[in-house]
Amino acid sequence: MIPEIDLQVTCMNPNPPGGQQVGTPNYHVKVLHIPTGIYAVCMAERSQHRNRKIALAMLEYGLAEIGWKL
């Protein structure tokens, strides 16, 4: 498990302003691991919480690949 202090989570808006999607939530999630600069972006699901879980799992896998101790 990655400590929350080492993470920066950003939610991005997939739609430009205006039109029918004005009131929709932001569901694209970018998770940055601050000590290494590695990040993961997930936009597979329409739920921000599920995208965050998927991005964290991808980030943990990437950190394990480079040998970072969690």
Domain range holding 35? 4-13+26-65
Q: Is 70 a member of any domain?
A: no
Within-domain flag for 18? no
Residue 32 lies in a domain: yes
Q: What whole-number percentage of the chain has pLDDT above 70?
A: 81
- pLDDT for 1: 78
Nearest Cα to 39, choosing from 26, 65, 58?
Answer: 58
Residue 57 has pLDDT above 90, yes or no: yes
Coil/strand/helix, residue 67:
coil
Number of independent structural domains in the chain = 1
- Phi and psi of 26, rounded to 5°? -80, 125
> Distances in Å between the alpha carbon of 48 and those of 10, 26, 65, 68, 69?
11, 7, 26, 26, 27
Q: What is the pLDDT of residue 14?
A: 67
Report if pTM > 0.85.
no
Is residue 59 assigned to a domain? yes
Q: What is the CATH number of the domain that holds 56?
A: 3.30.160.20
The arithmetic mean of pLDDT across residues 54-61, rounded, is 96
Mean pLDDT of the chain: 87
User: What pLDDT, on the 0 to 100 scale, is given for residue 54?
Assistant: 96
